Amino acid sequence: MSPRRTFGSTWWGRAWVEALEGRAKLDPNRLPRGRTYARQDRVSALDVKAGEVRAWVRGSRAVPYRVTIRVRTFGEEQWTVLLDTIGRQLGYTAALLDGELPPELASTAREAGADLLPGPGDLRPRCSCPDSADPCKHSAAVCYLVADEVDADPFVLFLLRGRGRDAVLRELRARRRRPAVAGAEVEEGIEPQDAFARETAPLPKLPAPPRVPGAPSLLPADPPAGSSLRTEALAELASGAADLAWELLTGRLATPLTEDEDLARRASRGDVAALAAASGRSRAELVRWAAAWRTAGRGGFAALRETWQPPRARLAEAQTALSEAELPGETKTWRNRLTRGTVQLRLGQDDRWYLFHQTPDGWLPAGPGTDSPLDALPE
């Protein structure tokens, strides 16, 4: 059973959901139905604009319902407070440019009266369905899927309050160029020789890796018209790179992947037919690669393709294990593979044993590798 679809894979995406379910004071009886609709992929053509979200939601009738969610935008005073809050900390601007929204920025802005997350009365959902609830289940579904947009780009929170990425960054740059107001306190700075003479502080401890791979930022613009590049393909590549970086960071991969390994990894998670067409590999071959990677990872994929001559002692160990398992037939040995009936043990060059079963697609790994051939066999 696949895990239940959640909303908000980043801190700021989860913060949107928490505010939606708590501070926004929406009808709690409709939100669960909205989550269900969002999980059922009933929402399409979701579009976020300044102070507004629009989408179509498939309900009980043939024609989808039109949903519009208006968000209370900031006035000039609130924008001044928010931009001054960001401008006082270079780290805030740097984090935003890196596609991140620091929790302390959100909390500081809220305390100053410029809350980026929705509070009571900030969301005004409207739907073409006959349900008069606020929100109805259709508009509630759209509210939940806004978390995906916020995950991809935290500037969506600014856009919902009235100003997009370009306008916010332009204001921040203008503030840094603006001369100091007469009488205002100005930091004197430090001489270069004094800065270099300071004792270097110890490096801070590295933060714990994220629980899941991060979502890549949205492209600021579509590829040029007439080019062979597609926004969807670039987004898929960026998402794959984020997944791979996360696996390297968390130790799931010790070294970078080869081209074939990366293709197998992507095939295990994506559209095999599209990858086959783009890579020139046959679909049948990629199906086997994907199955091996999904079941047994990098080592199992290598065992699927490689043959080599291991030491006799290691083969004898597997022959004994197969005999003790009382499987029908005789054990046939060829290089690193020992076959008995519909069961096969393969010794990978990582010195781990992989159990293979015969399937309509050929021999495929049945589980991750083990140190002992006896452990690899089914009970």
Encode 155-174: b = buried (16+ Cβ within 10 Å), e = exposed. Answer: bbbbbbbbbbbeebbebbee
List the Cα angle 101/107/111 in 5-degree steps: 140
CB proximity list for 286: less than 8 A, separation 6 or greater: 263, 264, 267, 272, 275, 276, 279
Which H or E run contains 111?
Answer: helix 103-111
Instruction: Give the full edge-to-edge strand order of the sheet including 332-334.
Output: 332-334, 337-340, 343-347, 353-359, 362-365
Q: Which two tokens stand for residue 105?
A: 């920025």
Q: Which residues pair with 47 in a beta bridge?
A: 54
State the Rg of the chain over Cα: 28
Residue type, 45: A
The tens digit of pLDDT for each residue in 107-164 reads: 888 888 889 999 888 999 999 998 888 789 999 999 999 999 998 888 999 999 999 9
Q: Report whether 3 contacts 99 (CB < 8 A).
A: no
Q: Report whether 158 contacts 116 (CB < 8 A).
A: yes
CB proximity list for 89: less than 8 A, separation 6 or greater: 105
Q: Whole-angstrom Cα distance, residue 85 to residue 92?
A: 9
In a structure prediction context, what are the per-residue pLDDT tens digits for the chain, which is 379 residues long?
445 678 888 888 888 988 888 877 787 778 888 888 998 889 999 999 999 999 999 988 888 999 999 999 999 999 998 998 888 877 887 888 777 888 888 888 888 888 999 988 899 999 999 888 878 999 999 999 999 999 888 899 999 999 998 898 888 887 766 654 444 454 555 677 777 777 877 888 888 888 888 777 767 677 887 787 777 778 777 877 888 888 888 877 778 889 999 899 889 887 888 888 888 899 999 999 999 999 998 999 999 999 999 999 889 988 888 888 777 888 899 999 999 888 899 999 999 999 999 888 899 999 989 988 888 887 6
CB proximity list for 184: less than 8 A, separation 6 or greater: none
The tens digit of pLDDT for each residue in 273-287 reads: 888 888 889 999 999
Q: Report whether 68 contacts 126 (CB < 8 A).
A: yes
Pick the closest to residue 68 from 14, 143, 133 (CA basis).
143
Residue type, 180: A
